[in-house]
Amino acid sequence: VCNAVYVRLNFTQPLCACPGRYRDPCSASLNRDDLHTTELITDPRGKTCEPVSEMRECRGPRDWSLLALQNIRTGKSHYLVICRCPPSNILEGPMSHDQPTYASVPGIRVYGMMCAQVNNNRRGRYLRFARSIARK
């Protein structure tokens, strides 16, 4: 994630610069239709150097879509977008992520967000995983 966009505050926070292999600089647009936007549950939107359409689609419920690696001393984080959620899903989290090798590095905390399937029957709520109901 190269920029965090706070729509309600009309503010863009630069997080890093895009590598030279990308033609354009990181988008600072408040709009979500710039092809570089990762929608979060709350106000900020994450902007990526790579077009979102070129990212692989997450395979739920096992893929972590977004990871945050936080320095315990400074509180600063670096954000990594691993995959994009399918259109019918939303990001759920942050959740503490203690499984990867780098989660055991001293001084680093890892948080992640996963795709959760939207339950259209309950407005404003969602299911963590899709459920199947089998009747006998």
CA 74/CA 68 separation, integer angstroms = 14
The answer to whether 71 and 108 are in contact (CB under 8 A) is: yes
Domain count, the chain: 2
Q: Are 45 and 32 in contact (CB under 8 A)?
A: yes
Question: What confidence score (pLDDT) does residue 9 get?
Answer: 86
Q: Is the Cβ–Cβ distance between 111 and 93 less than 8 Å? A: yes
User: Per-residue pLDDT tens for 88-113?
Assistant: 888 887 888 766 665 667 888 888 88
Per DSSP, 101 falls in state G
C-alpha 76/C-alpha 91 separation (Å) is 21
Mean pLDDT within 38-45 = 76
Most confident listed range (58-62, 111-115, 126-130): 111-115
Q: Are 113 and 61 in a shared domain?
A: yes
Q: How far apart are CA 118 and CA 130, in angstroms?
A: 9
Residue 129 has pLDDT above 50, yes or no: no
The residue among 42, 107, 37 whose CA lies nearest residue 69 is 107
On whether residue 65 sits in a domain, the answer given is yes
Regarding whether 60 and 49 lie in a shared domain, the answer is no
CATH number of the domain within which 31 lies? 2.20.20.160
